[in-house]
Structure formats: structure tokens, C-alpha cells
């Protein structure tokens, strides 16, 4: 099997939505609690462009993961910073896809003049946290009781990676 990573198109949104909703249902990758609809994801996708890309990873033409560069802030001072998201289809987790798509995302970020990537991870997402640490992200801090999941407060870990000094 050969992994192929490419820029996403609107045709990919159904698979992207399914994978994202898995993360919402499992409650360890996002503070979102409401499953996303096609309309929700169409709006989200429209906020991305050639610089703030959405990628999909495919194996045998089946989407098994996706990642995105998202706007950190509207301020011009922050235009070199992107927030990243990576979601892998549950049957493909732990098989190296996250690392491969992260490397591609970093390459695209550098080529679009981003100097820094940031992300927000939940403490329960140990696999994701280890992926980011292994790939050079550092923990900046912890937002304590930053949101609620299943009626309980949950912390959020802020991480960053400098791409270009």
C-alpha cells in the first residue's frame, strides 16, 4: 500500500467529516461536542485557501486521514503562524500516517512563509501528544479547565514548533 498526500477538494468533505466526527464522538481530540454536518464542514472548508490548506492522506484511493493549516489570528503580526489540525481514521491510527501527514503539512507551511505552527491537544490524546513531541513541538503551557467534555472540565495543552528562525 502506498500513502498519497494531496490537497483536499470539496469532493473529499464527506470523508473528512466522517473522520472528524469520529474524533468528536471519542472525545479525546477536540472540545467539539456536536457532530458536524455537511453544511458545517462546507463553511469550514471555504475558510481555507492555497495558503491555509487542507490535506488528505489516501491509501488505495480511500481517505484515511486529513490535516489543515488554520488561521491563528486576523492580525497581520500573526500572519506567519498557523494552527494545525490532524485527524486519522480510527482504523489507521498508530500506523505512522500522522507523522507522514505532519511532515507534509510542515513542508507546505514553510513554502507558504509560515515560521511557526501551533496546536492545542487534550491530555487524553496521548498518541497525538507523543507524535508532536517526537516531531519537535514543545509544550508551551496548559490552559487549565479550558472547556467541558461530558460535564467535566478539561485542560488543553498548547504546543508550538518554530519552522524558520
> From residue 10, how far is each of 15, 45, 46, 48, 59 by CA, in Å?
10, 8, 9, 11, 18
Over residues 109-130, the mean pLDDT reads 97
Query: Does residue 19 carry a pLDDT above 70?
Result: yes
In the chain, the N- to C-terminal Cα span, in Å, equals 37
pLDDT digits (tens, 9 = 90+) for 87-96: 999 999 999 9
pLDDT at 165: 80
Query: Does residue 7 carry a pLDDT above 80?
Result: yes
Residues 6+ apart with CB under 8 A from 19: 63, 65, 66, 87, 88, 89
Over residues 149-154, the mean pLDDT reads 92
DSSP per-residue letters across the chain: --EEEEE--GGGHHHHHHHHHHHHHHTSS-S--SPPPHHHHHHHHHT--SSS-EEEEEETTEEEEEEEEEE--SSGGGTTEEEEEEEE-GGGTTSSHHHHHHHHHHHHHHHTT--EEEEEE-TT-HHHHHHHHHTT-EEEEEEEEEEEETTEEEEEEEEEEE---
Query: Does residue 1 carry a pLDDT above 80?
Result: no
Phi-psi region of 151 (alpha: psi -120 to 50; beta: other; left: phi over 0): left
Over residues 135-160, the mean pLDDT reads 96
Structural domains of the chain, ranges and CATH numbers in brackets? 3-118 (3.40.630.30)
pLDDT digits (tens, 9 = 90+) for 31-80: 999 999 999 999 999 999 999 999 999 999 999 999 999 999 999 999 99
Q: Closest Cα partner for 87 from 67, 71, 103?
A: 67
pLDDT at 110: 98
Cα separation, 159 vs 98, in Å, equals: 16
pLDDT at 152: 93
Cα separation, 134 vs 78, in Å, equals: 25
pLDDT at 150: 87
Amino acid at each position: 500500500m502506498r500513502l498519497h498526500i494531496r490537497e483536499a477538494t470539496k469532493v473529499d468533505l464527506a470523508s473528512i467529516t466522517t473522520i472528524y466526527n469520529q474524533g468528536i464522538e471519542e472525545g479525546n481530540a477536540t472540545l467539539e461536542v456536536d457532530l458536524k454536518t455537511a453544511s458545517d464542514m462546507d463553511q469550514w472548508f471555504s475558510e481555507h485557501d492555497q495558503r491555509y490548506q487542507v490535506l488528505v492522506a489516501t491509501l488505495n484511493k480511500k481517505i484515511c486521514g486529513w490535516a489543515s493549516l488554520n488561521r491563528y489570528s486576523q492580525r497581520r503580526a500573526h500572519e506567519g503562524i498557523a494552527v494545525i489540525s490532524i485527524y486519522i481514521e480510527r482504523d489507521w491510527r498508530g500506523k505512522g500516517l500522522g507523522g507522514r501527514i505532519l511532515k507534509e503539512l510542515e513542508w507546505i507551511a514553510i513554502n507558504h512563509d509560515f515560521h511557526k505552527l501551533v496546536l492545542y491537544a487534550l491530555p487524553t490524546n496521548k498518541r497525538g501528544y507523543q507524535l508532536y513531541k517526537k516531531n519537535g513541538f514543545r509544550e508551551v503551557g496548559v490552559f487549565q479547565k479550558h472547556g467541558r467534555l461530558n460535564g467535566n472540565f478539561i485542560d488543553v495543552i498548547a504546543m508550538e514548533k518554530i519552522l524558520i528562525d
